[in-house]
Structures are given as structure tokens and as C-alpha cells.
Amino acid sequence: MRNCLLILLCLTGLLASAQNPNTLGRKAYLSGTAEDWATAIEAAHAIPDPATSLITIARFHQGAAYAAMAFKQDEAFDEHLDGMEASIDALWEITETSAAGHGLYSALLGLKIARKPMLGMIHGSRASSYAKEALELDATDPIALYNAAGNLFYTPEQWGGDKAKAIKLLNAALANTSEEGKLDYNYLAVMAMLGEAYMQTGDYPAARLVFEKALSEAPDYSYVEQILLPRLAEKEGR
């Protein structure tokens, strides 16, 4: 009877882990499939705390939008931008002081610019302002740090981009990620961007260390293994 109880408890724990929204988000991030993202987004809707639920939904739409952009799926990309924006708008009705929310809104504006570059004239400065406000609200929030770093990483230097500053923010995001947070896809995304930033600034040894760390955390991280590491090897002359 005792053994049966232990088995039941183990199975219950495994089931809870499999249904955990952040676990599902990480799975979707690594697979990149629309089906996995849809499952993760649905699970995020069930998070009891409204603000946490909306932030997670927005983050998952963000990840799904990046995947759609990579696969040149314009319709899906637009749908996820709409989902991301709707979630952030709903978050503003609960609180206007969410560091993660400000960071995500900065990222949303950046994605709109990526979709239609001419929007950079309208949204560029606003995206930078929201990124700065996110850090003013909480300079230790990994979501805020990641998205503020993304603003600096993707913005051209002549418009305020700064990869050296992005590197500092990304390292801060890693340093402020809890053990539980390391199960979230944001942790992997931070390492990918950090490695890219090191690579683009010519620090190839640091880039390799970060990419290898990412693969040690997620051996099936195909974006790092199949795209970023080969790109780094080419720059290293290997």
C-alpha cells in the first residue's frame, strides 16, 4: 500500500510538471511548433493570479511570434502580435507598474517594427522609453532585463542601440534568475542573445562558453547547436 502511494505521488508530480505553463513554454520554445505554443498559451490562461497569467500569455505570444517570423509565417506572426498586445492591454488595467509588462511592451513595439520597418519612425523611441521604464521599475526582473537588452541589441547604433550595454543587462538577467526560473524558456533565450551579442562584438571565447552552457541546460536547443555555433565557428575560422 505504501509503495502504491509513493508511485501515485510520483505520477502526480510528473503530471503537474508536464502541465506547468513554464515547462510547456520551454518545450514550445525548443520545438518552435505552432501546436506546442498553442498548448502553452492555453495553459497560461489557467494561471490563477491574473497579472502573472497575462504576463505569461504575452511572453508565450512573443515566443510564438519569433517562431512564426523565423518560419516566414506572416499571418501567424500578426495573430501572435495581436494576442501579445491584448494581454498587455489587459495587464495595464490591473497594474501600470509591472516591470515585465513594460519590457514586453517594448518588445511588442520592436516586433511591429520588424514586421513593418517604416513603423520605426513611430515606435522606435517609444520602444526605448518602455525598456528604460521597465528597468526603473525593477532592475532585477529577468523578463524586464531580457527585453530591455533586446531593445539595445536589435536597435541600430545610430538610433541608440548598444550591444555592450545589452551584454551587461543579459548577464544581470542570468544572475537574477531563480532556480525555478531556469526552467523557463526566458533563461534559454537570454543565453542565446548573450552569446550572439558576444559574437557580434568579437568576443568569440565568451560566446562559445555561453552557447556551450545553453546546450548543457538544453541538449536539444537546435537554434544554438545548428545555427549559432556553426556561425561562431565560421567567425573563428574553424
Cβ 80 vs Cβ 44: under 8 Å: no
120/76: higher pLDDT: 76
Is the pLDDT at 180 greater than 90? The verdict is yes
Distance CA 106, CA 125 (A): 10
Whole-model pTM over 0.75: yes
Q: What is the pLDDT of residue 238?
A: 73
The pLDDT tens digits of the residues spanning 105-145 come to 999 999 999 999 998 888 999 999 999 999 999 999 999 99
- CA 207, 210, 216: angle at the middle one, nearest 5? 140
Amino acid at 147: N
Q: For residue 68, what are the contacts with CB-CB under 8 A and spacing of at least 6?
A: 34, 74, 76, 77, 80
